[in-house]
């Protein structure tokens, strides 16, 4: 028997990206105009669900937000309500399950279904809430484009635009000074951003997590280009890239975050090693640019506005059909859904797990096409 839906809620968790507001807008407009549902939004992700911090979402609220990056609902990646950081009466930090508080808030507000937008960690908690009887629909979110089961996530294409434009800008100064320019981009476990952004931005070398690199091989590419008259080289490196004889570059350990290991600095490490080999031979300097959070922000591009709309509208259709405990996906350019456990795994409650990230195939068509036009991968 289908549950009658009258009031729904939505929250955004994890890191921000372009297209989130497009999703929120589609959820609200579809819910109100197609189904006559009431909609509220919890502020700051799961933290707002815990503290009962919410706003009413109506047609006026979402007017004019379509193009904006980020999220009007704000977000947090530090609030796992199944393993929540608290301080006891003795001042000692302890972690405990406070999910029942969130569930009670949903009941008090008469929420019939909850749309949760996020990546692995956020969706793991969505799985856990579904296990406790909450009517959950998940929407995948990451600029890394590595969520399994779906072909593409919103925010990815806008991030690619930022990478492409940055590489375009670096070309002019690289050419003017005969330099080797390194652009470090995001991509913890999957190299989609560096790969597609690098191809679009005419990078000469692309380094991704899926293909370990050798500094000598990269240096040889620089020498080959120099000897044939191209006295500059552009390198696009994913933050998760690693050498054949080493591991990823860790920037810091943040014990206050679910993802405690923060990557960063591979561009600087690579530059230091590469300059020792190259400069004595060609005299070339190496400069590094870390694109960082620029990839997450800015005006949402056309593709992500449309994609976010498709995700948001379909999630409301799922609610109307009582399809809960599932995540919206796109396969073969068609909207569909899968059980959330197929995406994040069926691990223990409160523990982030993964069903296997969607990574680059080192022997796939995209890598092969890049190699065909002379791009090297440092292997």
The CATH number covering residue 194 comes to 3.40.50.460
- Residue 3 pLDDT: 74
CB 53 within 8 A of CB 42: yes
Q: Is residue 355 part of a domain?
A: no
pLDDT digit string, tens, across residues 290-344: 999 999 989 999 999 999 999 999 999 999 999 999 999 999 989 999 999 999 9
Q: Is residue 356 part of a domain?
A: no
- Residue 258 pLDDT: 59
| pTM given for the model | 0.92
Give the Cα separation of 221 and 235 in Å (integer).
10
Q: Is residue 349 part of a domain?
A: no
Strand partners, 95: 85
Whether residue 141 sits in one domain with residue 77: yes
Whether residue 150 sits in one domain with residue 19: yes
Give the Cα separation of 204 and 236 in Å (integer).
8
Options 16, 79, 120, 144, the catalytic residue: 144
Residue 276: domain span: 160-297+361-372
Give the Cα separation of 100 and 92 in Å (integer).
22
| Nearest residue to 319 (alpha-carbon basis) of 137, 125, 110 | 137
Whether residue 282 sits in one domain with residue 338: no
Whether residue 208 sits in one domain with residue 103: no
Whether residue 146 sits in one domain with residue 118: yes
Q: Is residue 378 part of a domain?
A: no
CATH of the domain at 23: 3.40.50.450
| Nearest residue to 109 (alpha-carbon basis) of 130, 134, 86 | 134
Whether residue 17 sits in one domain with residue 69: yes
Question: Catalytic annotation on 144?
Answer: yes
The structure tokens listed for 82 are: 């199944």
Q: Is residue 271 part of a domain?
A: yes
- Residue 1 pLDDT: 62
Whether residue 314 sits in one domain with residue 244: no
Question: Residue 328: left (phi > 0), alpha (psi -120 to 50), or beta?
Answer: beta
Name the stretches of the chain with pLDDT < 50. Answer: none
- Residue 261 pLDDT: 74
């Amino acid at each position: 028997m289908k549950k009658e839906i009258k009031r729904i809620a939505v929250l955004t968790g994890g890191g921000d990206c372009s297209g989130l507001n497009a999703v929120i807008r589609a959820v609200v407009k579809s819910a109100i105009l197609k189904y006559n549902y009431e909609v509220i939004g919890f502020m700051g992700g799961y933290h707002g669900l815990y503290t009962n911090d919410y706003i009413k979402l109506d047609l006026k609220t979402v007017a004019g937000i379509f193009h904006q990056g980020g999220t009007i609902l704000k977000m947090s990646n530090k609030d796992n309500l199944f393993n929540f950081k608290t301080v006891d009466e003795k001042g000692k930090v302890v972690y405990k399950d406070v999910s029942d508080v969130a569930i009670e808030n949903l009941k008090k507000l008469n929420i019939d279904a909850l749309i949760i937008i996020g990546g692995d960690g956020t969706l793991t908690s969505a799985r856990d809430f579904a296990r406790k009887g909450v009517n959950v629909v998940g929407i995948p979110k990451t600029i890394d484009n590595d969520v399994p089961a779906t072909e593409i996530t919103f925010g990815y294409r806008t991030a690619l635009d930022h990478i492409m434009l940055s590489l375009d800008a670096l070309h002019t100064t690289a050419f003017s000074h005969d330099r080797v320019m390194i652009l470090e981009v995001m991509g913890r476990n999957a190299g989609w951003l560096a790969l597609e952004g690098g191809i679009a931005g005419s990078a000469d070398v692309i380094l991704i997590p899926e293909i370990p690199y050798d500094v000598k091989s990269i240096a040889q590419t620089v020498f080959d280009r120099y000897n044939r008259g191209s006295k500059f080289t552009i390198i696009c490196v994913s933050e998760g890239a690693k050498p054949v004889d080493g591991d990823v570059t860790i920037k810091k350990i943040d014990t206050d975050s679910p993802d405690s290991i923060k990557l960063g600095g591979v561009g600087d490490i690579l530059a230091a090693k590469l300059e020792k080999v190259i400069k004595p031979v060609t005299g070339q300097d190496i400069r590094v640019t870390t694109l960082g959070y620029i990839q997450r922000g800015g005006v949402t591009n056309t593709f992500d506005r449309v994609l976010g709309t498709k995700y948001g509208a379909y999630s409301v259709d799922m609610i109307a059909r009582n399809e809960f405990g599932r995540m919206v996906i796109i396969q073969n350019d068609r909207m569909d859904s899968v059980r959330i456990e197929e995406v994040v795994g069926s691990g223990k409650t409160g523990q982030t797990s993964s069903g296997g990230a969607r990574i680059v195939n080192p022997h796939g068509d995209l890598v092969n096409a890049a190699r065909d036009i002379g791009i090297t991968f440092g292997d």
